[in-house]
Each structure stands twice: as structure tokens, then as C-alpha cells.
């Protein structure tokens, strides 16, 4: 696959992290593979915990010229010096947040398997639309974002598209021609050597 066609990698943090260990794990992954963006996706609503994690991971990411966005916590973006926000509820807030955060902030939207929701998000000013899960998972109702959705999107819509959720080497190979980004998280963090796990997952890209 030509370099120009190669999807970029969008890294997602685990829902729980140990700040004594994770920044170094993250640094090793960022140093091993070109990463376009990092998403801070912590579980829970402990503001202090999220802020401390954001400070630590922003330092690691920005030292390597990697943008960092936060999942849903819009008010933390500017206060913590982050690059933008990833919304998990589709297009609903995109237009307002684009206005509030300005044209330079990253605003992304997860739209599940809904082409309609994706189009609404794109028209509202999102920087990317994310669809998933793309691989088999016991979470949710078992429905998948099919390859046909990505193929249609990449042909018809200019806004970049992200494939995420239960990625496998087989799915990477299948979706590589029709997605702009692969969002990778738990697929690698559950392995002891996350950097090696990422290299293995992305091996079909060459």
C-alpha cells in the first residue's frame, strides 16, 4: 500500500490508568509508531483524576507533536490546554462546540453505525466521524459498522472517517482501503508490550 493511502493511527487511552506507569507505556508506543492523535477516554467523572491524567498525558503527547483530545468533557479542553474533544453521542453538540471552541480545535464525533448521524455531524462542522464497532464484541447489541459504510463514506464524503472498536489484523486489512484512521485502544493496552501489539495489529498495512 502506498504511503499516501495508508490510514493514520488514532490512539485511545484505557478507561483506567495508573499515572505511575501509563505515561511511560504511552511514550513507548508514541516513539514506536507514528500516531496522529491521542484520545483521553477515562471512565468515571472524578474531575481531579481526569485533570491530573490530562496534564500528564498532554506533556507526553505534545513533546512528540501528537494532538490530544478528551472524550466528552468539553469544559476541560481549554482549561487543560488540550487540542479538542471527541463526542460519543453523534452530531447533537457539534455545531455548538465548533462555535464555542473555535475553528482550530479538533471536534470529532462517534456515530455508531449511522450514516445519517455521520452526515449530520459532518454538516455541523466535525473534523472527523468515527464509526464502530468494526469487529465482533460482546459489548452493545452485537451490531457492527460494516465495511460497506466506510466504502460509501470514503467515496461520497470529504470529512475523514475513523474505524474503531474490536479491531483485528483481518479488519485492518479489510478496512485499510476505505478508512482514513484506525482508532486503537484496548486492543493493545491489554497486552504487556503495547508497542509490539500495535505493530502486530497494523502489520497488514506494510
pLDDT tens series, the chain, 206 aa: 234 479 999 999 999 999 999 999 999 999 999 999 999 999 998 999 999 999 999 999 999 999 999 999 999 999 999 999 999 999 999 999 999 999 999 999 999 999 999 999 999 999 999 999 999 887 777 889 999 999 999 999 999 999 999 999 999 999 999 999 999 999 999 999 999 999 999 999 98
Domain boundaries, the chain: 3-205
Output the pLDDT for position 123: 97
The class that CATH gives domain 3-205 is alpha beta
| 128/85 Cα distance (integer angstroms) | 11
Output the pLDDT for position 142: 81
| Residue 151 grid coordinates | 466504502
Phi, psi dihedral angles at 17 (to 5 degrees): -135, 150
Query: Which H or E element spans position 188?
Result: helix 186-189
pTM: 0.95
On the CB side of 161, CA atoms within 13 Å amount to 30
71 strand-pairing partners: 86
Amino acid at each position: 500500500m502506498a504511503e499516501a493511502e495508508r490510514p493514520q493511527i488514532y490512539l485511545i487511552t484505557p478507561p483506567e490508568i495508573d499515572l505511575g506507569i501509563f505515561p511511560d507505556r504511552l511514550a513507548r508506543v508514541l516513539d514506536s509508531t507514528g500516531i496522529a492523535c491521542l484520545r483521553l477516554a477515562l471512565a468515571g467523572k472524578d474531575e481531579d483524576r481526569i485533570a491530573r491524567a490530562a496534564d500528564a498525558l498532554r506533556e507526553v503527547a505534545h513533546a512528540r507533536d501528537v494532538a490530544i483530545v478528551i472524550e466528552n468533557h468539553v469544559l476541560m479542553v481549554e482549561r487543560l490546554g488540550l487540542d479538542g474533544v471527541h463526542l460519543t453521542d453523534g452530531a447533537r453538540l457539534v455545531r455548538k462546540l465548533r462555535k464555542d471552541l473555535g475553528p482550530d480545535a479538533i471536534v470529532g464525533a462517534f456515530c455508531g453505525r449511522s450514516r445519517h448521524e455521520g452526515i449530520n455531524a459532518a454538516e455541523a462542522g466535525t473534523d472527523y466521524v468515527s464509526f464502530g464497532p468494526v469487529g465482533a464484541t460482546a459489548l452493545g447489541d452485537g451490531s457492527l459498522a460494516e465495511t460497506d459504510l466506510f466504502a460509501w463514506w470514503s467515496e461520497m464524503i470529504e470529512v475523514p472517517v475513523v474505524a474503531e472498536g474490536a479491531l483485528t489484523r483481518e479488519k485492518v486489512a479489510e478496512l485499510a482501503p476505505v478508512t482514513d484512521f484506525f482508532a486503537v485502544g484496548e486492543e493493545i493496552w491489554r497486552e504487556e508490550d503495547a508497542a509490539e501489539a500495535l505493530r502486530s495489529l497494523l502489520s497488514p498495512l506494510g
